Every structure is written in C-alpha cells, then in structure tokens.
Structure 1
C-alpha cells in the first residue's frame, strides 16, 4: 500500500497559544506541522529540513514576517510563503506580495478561509518543483546535445581528413598515369583511368559538401539588419558574371529589410538562385523571379523559376542531403544545396517549403522568424 506523503508546514507566530492552536487544527486536517515562535528559530528549522509552506505572522518582535519570508526564500526558492496578519489592509497585502508571499490570511483565523489558501499554496509549490525539475532536464539535455555536437564535429573533421588522404592518392596516381603513360595505354584502359579520376573528384566534392553542411549547423548566428534587395542584387551579379552567355530574365519584387545572419542569408540565396540558373539552362526563355509577400503576420520570401520542375509526390525528401530529382547527365550537383538552405532557415526559426510540377517550374518559399520592419523603404530592383 502506497504511503501518503503529508504536506509539511512551518508556522511562525510569537503568540504561542495562537500558533499552537493553528498547528493542532492543521494536523487534524492531514498536514505535518512544525511551530516556531520567532524568525531565527524558523530559519534554523528550514536549514535542517525542507518545508512546502511557510505561514509567518506579519508583526513579530525582531524579525517580522516579511523579513523572515525573504530570508526563507534565500534558503529555499521553491518555498511558498503565506503571511498571517490581523491588520487586513490592502497595503499590508501588497507589501506581503512584494516580499514574495503567495497570499495572506487574516486573524482571527477561520478554517474555511485558511484551507483554500493552503490548497493554492501547495499547488504553487508543486508547480515550482515541477518547473525546476523541467529546467534541470532541459539544461542536462542541452549539455548532452552540446557534447554530442562537439563529438560529431570532431568526427566530421577526422573523417574528412582520413577520407581525403587515400582519395588524394587515387586522384594523384590516376592523373599521373594518364599524363605519363596516356599514349601507351590502350584506349579502353585509359577510359578506365579517366573514370577513376572523375569518380574521385566527385567524392572529393561530396566531402566538401558535407563539410559545408556541417559548418552551417555549427556557425554561431550574428544577427543584424540586412538589406535583402542589395544582397540579392550582389548574388545575381555574381551568377551573371559566372555565366555571361546565359540570357535569363530576372524579375524582382519587393525585398524588405530583415534581421538575419547576413552571411548565412547570402548563402541561402546563392543556393536557391544557383539552382534556378542551373535548372533553367535548357529552357528557351528562362525566367527567374525573386520577391516577398506578406501572409498574415509573416513575410514569405520566394525564388521561382520556369525550369523542368519536379513531381511533388517526391517532395517529402526534397530537403534531405544528397537527394537528386534529376539525373546527373541532365544537371550536375551533389544534392546538398537545399539541405543547407533548410538548415539556414531552421537556424533562423523559419519555415521552408516548395511548390512545383513537372514541366511547369519550381517555387521555393521561406520565412524568417526574426524579420522586422524595414528601417527605410526599399524600392524593388529590376533585372
């Protein structure tokens, strides 16, 4: 049979007869009660054993009830204090609350008034203990996550280094063989070597992509006001310089200033716009649109293209690392770019999703939870 644990009350009142009567009455109602006649003795009791509630008389010689409550809370912050007073003024109640008391009860005591106050006090005590336990578990979990992240970071760096050493040997020797003995190597075997070299280069690119993905998760956020229009303009200019032969129509809507990590936000737009440029490569009249639309209290940024699109039935894995919806002989890539975009959006407390259809292009939308109103109007830029 489970033993019922009684709530522990500490009652402090310099009027001995009144204190003893209250102790006896509350013991009859199932409480475990200890009585003391002054604040000093009460604090000694608190240091020796925990209590759930402290009932302290307001007016006592030496340490009064408010002073006792403050000292008691310094010993046990979870303790719930109730002030007993015969004055019954609003000023007394306010002062008691300001000192940390949950409530107050008036003298002469009425059991019908005391018991509900004790019930509320015990509920508050339970909530304080549960919150403290929850906060402790959160701190422990955060410490475990931090340790796991450090181990993962160390493993990623070590694995990257350990993989690169044999990979560099494969690349180096295959290139050396082709360069030194190419003319004397039969065509079929020379093709084997070229294939080995290309595969090794692809693996090296995958390792680089993994390191970039890992770095996004480790990088501390440096939040600041970001001129999104200027940032996007810079990304587009870089892409045009890299592909001067491309004829792409860029359409820019309103791109309001927001609060974000500027370097991560730039990486986000680099990845989305690079994909848009890549997947419209075979489109006769390529069009890429960038903008922002208000949806309720959120701002939704988007990058839209009229490329080949994809089947939305597969979109549940769209942002997984190394997921590719097109063959490598159609469009190059390693399938990490959108994973990086998702991680950046998540780091900012936002959401990311896509809409597409085969042959009808793709649209990528994201929100940033830390968006703010622009400091000044930012006119749309035209392409």
Structure 2
C-alpha cells in the first residue's frame, strides 16, 4: 500500500509517524516512495484540510508540508497543526525563492526547512533532527508534568505540615502551661509548708516544663525555615555579629570568654536568617566554654579555593568527630542535659539556613580541645 493511499493511521511499534503534505501528486508520490522503505510509517495527503483531519484522527510525530498550496499555505498549516499538537515537529518544504517564508514558518513553530528540489540525503538528516527535537519536547513535557505534580504534592504536604505544627504547638502548650502555672502557684501558696525534697520536685517540674516550651519554640522555628522566602540584600556582617554578641552576653555579663572577631565582609544574604545562624553558633560557643579555663572564641572568614568560608571557633570541650554526623540532626545532642542545656535544634537551624543560601556547613573538633564550625553561602559570596 503506498503512502498516499492510506486514509487511517496504522503505525507499527517503534516506527516514527510522518505526515507529508504536498498539492503536487508527483512530488508527494516521489517523497513518500523514497521514504517508504525506511523506518517510518508514512501517510501522504494533498491538502492542508486533509492533513488537519489526519492529525485530529491519530496524530503523528512529524509534519512535512509544502509551503505554497491552494487555500491554506504551509505557515497557516504549521500554526493550526501546533495548536492540535504543540509537541509536533514541523518541517517546511519550500522553493528557492521563498526562504523568507521558511524563516517565517520557523518563527511560527516549524523546527526546520528543506529547499526544493531536494535529494534524499538532504531530507533524511532534517527528518532525524526533527524527530530528535520531537523526542526532546516529549521528554521535557513529561518532566514538566512530573515537576508540576511533585510541586503540587509538596505544597499540599507543606500545608498539612503547617496545620499540624500549629495544632500540635497549641495542643502541647495548653496542658504544658497548665502544669507550669499550677506548679508555680503551689510553690507560691504552699511552698513554706513543703519539705525540701518536695520543693526540689516542684523545681524539676518547672524546669522540665520550660524546657518543653523551648523545644516547641525551636520546632516551630525549624518548621518555618523551609517556607520563608529569602530576602536577599547587602549585609554588613561586622555590626550584625557584634549585635548578636551584645544580646547574648547581656544575660551573662560575667562570662569570662575572650572574643576575637576578625574582619568580616559585606555579603548578599537574608539578614534575619543569617543573624539566626550566628545566634545559634555563638550561643553554643558561649555555652560550651562556660567551664573552660581562659575561654576563647574566634569569629572570622577566610578564603578557600576562591570562596569565602565563615567560621566560629571555641576552646571548649569539643567532641569526637566519629559523632559529627549527628551534629546537624534535629534533637540530637552530644553532651548530657545536666552538663550543657539545650534542645538539640540550633545546629539543624544553622544547616537549614545555610542550605537555603546555597551553601554548606561542617564542623571540626577534638575532644577536650574545642570545636570549629564553618559555613559557606553558595554563590552569594566569593
């Protein structure tokens, strides 16, 4: 059965489907015949109307259309065909004097053109390029669909997580505040009549309730970090770090730490989130040097492979690097609660903020010889 005699699409598996349109029967028959023995399934038609009818019935992978035809020309057919199938590969066949029209057709969506009269060794590479473009468009469309689906799923999950977090926070705080409030009332109105061990128990209840409140606060901050849009702007790190240090040292003016702050650059970052990084790193440094003779904290930046690396170092108790993988996991602690207080969320927040900026964070430490925390900020700082 010759290509131009087919009236319905009956493609074989794995064969590219070509629809050829030419109002000159000899040209149409010649091209269909030349391509028939190759790995294509071919239908040839003599008008734009027949081509559109064929596309509506079964579609195809490539449309090869003559430029000059009665009624609807190749450019109008290209536009109409792409409305039916935006991923369709269209090749325009044109005479020597109408190259400008060929360019116009490509602007309308055609992927290539060939000049008449043409040879098979000229047409075949154009067809292969067009089919490759068709496959690429299909892959991109499938990828975009998967991305849209995943984004929709992620947005739905974030909404559910946000609702759960708010609900959990409210549901946890209500009984927790009641426990703390009644414990304080009991101490106030009956403390004088309670034995010392009973008062100690009350103190344990109050401390545990306050710690649970801090855990809820940290959990809420960690939950919100991934959804807050970055507000990138120039940030002068030197006054930001000094302001953080002033706030942290105000409640503990007798902390003996020597703090050395080297020159820090102006960078492009989210100031509020970056402040949280230094709040967590410096509060840890102050906390873990509390019992260290001659405590020292160093803050600064250095160049590594042309990139700015920021650091906070202390000479506190340090930790075993074999446990370093746990550092940035939420609620993971390397020291006992009775040694150093904390919720185990601070470094998770640091990692989340740094990753939002396209950077990374890591640590280096030796037991008994202090710890150093380093971070980068992606392409924002070089």
Same fold flag (TM > 0.5): yes
| Correspondence list, 1:32-51, <5 A | 32-51=41-60
TM-score (norm 1): 0.88
CA gap of 1:238–1:194, structure 2 versus 1, over 3 A, is closer
SS in 1 for 2:297: strand
Name 1:378's counterpart in structure 2: none
Picking from 139, 149, 160, the partner of 2:158 is 149
- How far off its partner does 1:195 sit? 2.0
- How far off its partner does 1:193 sit? 2.7
The answer to whether the aligner puts 1:76 opposite 2:79 as a matched pair is no
Picking from 154, 164, 176, the partner of 1:167 is 176
User: After the TM superposition, which parts of structure 1 deviate over 4 Å for at least 4 consecutive aligned residues?
Assistant: 88-99
Determine if contact 2:308/2:381 at 8 Å carries over to the other structure: no
| Correspondence list, 1:24-173, <5 A | 24-87=33-96, 97-173=106-182
Picking from 201, 209, 217, the partner of 1:208 is 217
Q: Distance in 1 between matches of 2:296 and 2:100?
A: 71
Aligned length: 371
Name 2:324's counterpart in structure 1: 315
- How far off its partner does 1:368 sit? 1.2
Picking from 225, 246, 249, the partner of 1:240 is 249
For 1:77-124, what per-residue CA distance to the aligned partner results, in whole angstroms no more than 9, with x for missing partners?
Answer: 211122223329986775555444333333334223323332232222
Name 1:379's counterpart in structure 2: none
Q: Aligned-residue CA RMSD in angstroms?
A: 2.4
Q: Distance in 1 between matches of 2:146 and 2:58?
A: 24
- How far off its partner does 1:339 sit? 0.7
Determine if contact 1:13/1:56 at 8 Å carries over to the other structure: yes
- How far off its partner does 1:62 sit? 4.7
Q: Distance in 2 between matches of 1:322 and 1:76?
A: 53
For 1:168-200, what per-residue CA distance to the aligned partner results, in whole angstroms no more than 9, with x for missing partners?
Answer: 222222222222222323333333232222222
For 1:16-39, what per-residue CA distance to the aligned partner results, in whole angstroms no more than 9, with x for missing partners?
Answer: 221133224333324222333344
Name 2:354's counterpart in structure 1: 345
For 1:31-51, what per-residue CA distance to the aligned partner results, in whole angstroms no more than 9, with x for missing partners?
Answer: 222333344543444344322
SS in 1 for 2:250: helix
Name 1:229's counterpart in structure 2: 238
CA gap of 1:253–1:75, structure 2 versus 1, over 3 A, is farther
- How far off its partner does 1:287 sit? 2.1
CA gap of 1:115–1:173, structure 2 versus 1, over 3 A, is same
Name 1:11's counterpart in structure 2: 20
- How far off its partner does 1:223 sit? 1.8
